[in-house]
Structures are given as structure tokens and as C-alpha cells.
Amino acid sequence: MIVFYFTSTGNSLAVAKRIGGDLISIPQVIDGSDTHYKDEAIGVIFPVYSGAPPRMVRQFLDKAIFEADYLFAIGTYGNMPGACMYNLQKGAEKRGYRFDYLNSLLMVDNFLPVFEMDAQIAKLPEKKTEEMTARIVADIQNREHKGAKASLPVRAVTAMFAGMKTDKNAQGYIVNDQCTKCGICAKVCPAKNIDVTDRVNFSGHCEGCLACVHLCPQNAIHLKNEKSDKRWLHSEVSLHEIIAANNRYRD
Ligand SMILES: Cc1cc2nc3c(=O)[nH]c(=O)nc-3n(C[C@H](O)[C@H](O)[C@H](O)COP(=O)(O)O)c2cc1C
Ligand code: SF4
Ligand code: SF4
């Protein structure tokens, strides 16, 4: 089984690790020319951004050719997935294939402009994240089939959200004087959007994933509109694993 994933704060990677198989980080293959993937089972796991997969995941799905007996996708989200998985199936159908199993999984919402991380962590039991993760893992082990439904109002609201750009260019991020120029923000960035010289420089192709903000060891990167200065990394995922997944500065 091959499981493709995209992650910034580890939620999606934690789920991928629970499911198992050969885990492949989408940022590591996005520039590759080999886009044909064949296995008995293939899965795609990603965070929901404004009711849709992240831009890089959409680019990956546009060019990937999957050959599998069982194809699944999981969208991790923090509050409202909208019609994300429904639209994902529609997109797949246009490309000539269908997902056999689609599901979304409620986890900590890492969107700092709206959510406070301590409150999100406290809500985990209420969100039933652990139970739902176990159920999804079992479903995939048993090769269950499940479609994705979305009512007309949900589809309409999701279409409105789709107009909101989450892939801001990071120019609004504030780097304070706690920064030690360690370069970790550049290594956790899936978009190769950060270069650390005598300062932290952001380019213009940000995915808006907030990995740099959440994972700076000095907590030196801030948003003007963040709800608090608390940050999030999933407890089953290490900083080292996020770097291995997202670092695109290879020698
Ligand atoms: C830019 C951005 C947009 C987001 N949009 C949504 C959303 O529309 N609905 C939602 O429920 N969660 C949203 N989230 C929360 C994430 O989908 C959620 O925390 C996810 O599990 C993070 O996964 P990761 O840790 O693998 O990156 C958003 C997060 C970010 C950073
Ligand atoms: S990770 Fe934080 S401390 Fe390190 S270079 Fe980036 S902003 Fe500075
Ligand atoms: S600059 Fe920060 S928010 Fe933008 S893609 Fe890179 S890590 Fe994500």
C-alpha cells in the first residue's frame, strides 16, 4: 500500500502513520516526472484548507495516475470540512477514476487566525478524534467502501469559501528578535518559500500551511491576527519527521 500525505503540523502524518504502508510526502514528489503509481491500495491524506485540499495536493492529484484495486482519501480538518471530499470525488471522476473510500477526520484546528491551540487541545475528547481515527484505520484495513455526501447548502457555502485564498504569500508574517537564524522554518516549509540569511526571507509561493509559524523552536514567527501565541505539533509526530516530509532544500 502507498499512502501519499501532505502535512504542516503533523495531524495528517499521524493518521498516515496509523494506517501504515509506504508513506510518501507529496512535497517530495511534486516536482517529479514519474507520476504513475501502481499498488494494491493507494491513499491520499491531507489537511482541509478552506473547504478544499491544499493547492499542492490539488496539483499532485491533477498529474498523478493511480493504478490500484483500492483507492482512498482522508481529509483532516478542525472545524468544518464543507464539501471537500464530495468535490474530491467529482474531480476524480473527471479524471476517469473514483475513490473507493472517502472520509474526513476532525482533529486540532491549526488555523491560528481563528483558533486558540490550548482550547483546541482541550476539545480533542469532545471531537472524538481518537475514536474516529481508530474507525478509519479499521475501515481501510478491511477495505471498506464509503462515498462522500454534501447537501446543496453545504456545496454552496464551500464554493463561497473556495474564493478565499489560503495560500497567502507570508509577507504579513512577523519574525521577532527571538529568531536565532537556525533555518528550521525553511526546512519545514513544503513550498521552498523561505530562505534564511541574516534574516528570514519569504518568497511569493506560500501554501499558507503555517508550518513555519507553528514549528519555529523560538516561537519567533507571528501572525498579526493570531488568536494566541500557543503552537501545535501532533504528539505522535516529531519535528524531524516534518522536516523529512517537507524540506525541499536537498543537496
Ligand atoms: C490555511 C488553513 C486553512 C484551513 N481551513 C480549514 C477549513 O476550511 N475547515 C476546517 O475544518 N479546518 C481548516 N483548517 C484546519 C486544518 O485542516 C486542520 O487543523 C488539519 O488537521 C491540519 O493538518 P496537518 O497538521 O496535517 O497540517 C485550516 C488550516 C489552515 C492552515
Ligand atoms: S525557525 Fe525560527 S528561529 Fe529558526 S530561523 Fe526560522 S524564524 Fe528564526
Ligand atoms: S512560508 Fe510558512 S506558511 Fe508558507 S508554505 Fe512555507 S511553511 Fe507554509
**Mean pLDDT, the chain cut into blocks of 10 residues (251 residues total):** 98 98 97 94 97 96 96 97 97 95 98 95 95 98 96 92 66 92 98 96 94 98 93 98 94 53
The domain that holds 185 is classified in CATH as 3.30.70.20
pLDDT at position 165: 62
Residue nearest to atom 28 of ligand 1 (CA): 49
> Does residue 101 contact residue 141 with C-beta atoms inside 8 Å?
no
Q: How many Å lie between the centroid of ligand 3 and the Cα of residue 171?
A: 10
CA distances (Å), 69 to each of 36, 87, 210, in order? 15, 21, 35
pLDDT at position 162: 75
E strand segments, 78-163? 101-106
Residues with CB under 6 A from ligand 3: 170, 188-191, 193-194, 202, 206-212
Cα(211)–Cα(158) distance, integer angstroms: 24
pLDDT at position 117: 96
Q: How many Å lie between the centroid of ligand 1 and the Cα of residue 234?
A: 13
Domain shared by 68 and 182, yes or no: no
| Lookup: cell for 50 | 478552506
Cα(7)–Cα(189) distance, integer angstroms: 10
Choice from 50, 88, 132, 223 to test ligand 1 binding pocket (greatest atom count within 8 A of CB) = 50
Cα(92)–Cα(68) distance, integer angstroms: 14
pLDDT at position 168: 62
Domain boundary among 162, 193, 208: 162
In a domain, 42, yes or no: yes
pLDDT at position 164: 67
State pTM to two decimals: 0.96
Please count the structural domains in the chain. 2
pLDDT at position 172: 81
Domain shared by 190 and 143, yes or no: no
Cβ count within 10 A of residue 241? 19
Q: Which domain holds residue 214?
A: 174-246
Which residue bears the cell 526571507?
201
pLDDT at position 141: 98
Closest by CA position to 49, among listed 125, 194, 163, 216? 163
pLDDT at position 226: 93
pLDDT at position 171: 72
Kindly identify the ligand whose nearest atom is closest to the C-alpha of 246.
3
Domain boundary among 115, 142, 162: 162
Phi, then psi, of 249 in degrees rounded to 5: -95, 85
Domain shared by 145 and 231, yes or no: no
